[in-house]
Amino acid sequence: MNEIFRDLGNVGIGVLLLAVMLVIGFFVFGAITKYNDIEQLRKGNRAAGMYMGSKLLGLGIIIAMVSYTSFNWLELILWSIMGMCILSVLYVLLDFLTPRFDVCKEIERENMAVAELLRAIIIAASIVIGTFLL
């Protein structure tokens, strides 16, 4: 019976940590975009929603993968932060490598094709990053 309570406690702590990391991720990812994410979401910009949602999904994938091999909560938090940093660097690098194509302007224009492409890149990168961090 004690194991059930311990396991439930661990699930609760894990869900709380996930929620905190996703909120932090939202603000970190929002800080590095050239447009105001919250404003775009309030306007109903589906491309901005897909793009931010993809970044958060990617972060969730990384957290899930590192949680599999983490032996304590601090380790999980540190590797999750590392994954968030790598995703942020990937975003900046992608923006730098496409100087003729302004990703942020396309998202502001609600270009869903760009948002879908970015979603695929972020999810693929998150799986690879999560594997590296295992």
Cβ atoms of 61 and 128 within 8 Å: the answer is no
Cβ atoms of 133 and 79 within 8 Å: the answer is yes
> Which pLDDT score is estimated for 20?
95
CA torsion angle 108 114 116 117 (round to 10): -140
Question: Which among 14, 27, 2, 33 is positioned nearest to 73, based on CA atoms?
Answer: 14
How confident is the model over 60-65, as a mean pLDDT? 94
How confident is the model over 55-78, as a mean pLDDT? 92
Write the burial class of residue 76 (CB in 10 Å: 0-12 exposed, 13-18 middle, 19+ buried): buried
Task: List Cβ<8 Å contacts ≥24 apart for 93-101.
Answer: 94/118, 94/121
pLDDT at 2 over 90: no
Cβ atoms of 10 and 36 within 8 Å: the answer is no
pTM for the predicted model, two decimal places = 0.90
Q: What is the mean pLDDT of the chain?
A: 92
Cβ atoms of 65 and 87 within 8 Å: the answer is no
pLDDT at 1 over 80: no
How confident is the model over 34-44, as a mean pLDDT? 95
